[in-house]
Amino acid sequence: MKSHVWRPLYVALGIVAMILVLRMFIVPDDFGAHERGYMYGWHSKGNEAVWQKVSVKYKGGDSCKECHKDNYEDIKNSPHTDISCENCHGPRLEHPKDPIGLNIDRSRQLCLRCHLKLPYKASDRGTMKGINPDTHHPQEQCVLCHYPHNPTREAKK
User: Given the rule CB under 8 A, which residues bind other proteins?
Assistant: 31, 34-36, 39-44, 47-48, 50-58, 60-61, 82-84, 86-87, 90-91, 109, 112-114, 116-126, 128
Shortest Å distance, C-beta 55 to other proteins? 8
Among residues 1 and 122, whose Cβ is nearest to other proteins?
Answer: 122
Among residues 13 and 114, whose Cβ is nearest to other proteins?
Answer: 114
For residues 52 and 125, what is the distance between their CA atoms, to the nearest angstrom?
36
For residues 43 and 73, what is the distance between their CA atoms, to the nearest angstrom?
48
For residues 60 and 93, what is the distance between their CA atoms, to the nearest angstrom?
10
Shortest Å distance, C-beta 5 to other proteins? 35
Among residues 43 and 146, whose Cβ is nearest to other proteins?
Answer: 43
Among residues 14 and 60, whose Cβ is nearest to other proteins?
Answer: 60
Strands 42-44 and 31-33: antiparallel
Judge whether 119 and 126 are in contact, CB under 8 Å.
yes
Shortest Å distance, C-beta 7 to other proteins? 32
Q: State the chain's maximal CA–CA distance in angstroms.
A: 100
For residues 72 and 61, what is the distance between their CA atoms, to the nearest angstrom?
11
- Mapping DSSP to helix (H, G, I), strand (E, B) and coil, where does residue 136 land? coil
Shortest Å distance, C-beta 107 to other proteins? 9
Among residues 99 and 126, whose Cβ is nearest to other proteins?
Answer: 126
For residues 45 and 47, what is the distance between their CA atoms, to the nearest angstrom?
5
Shortest Å distance, C-beta 69 to other proteins? 21
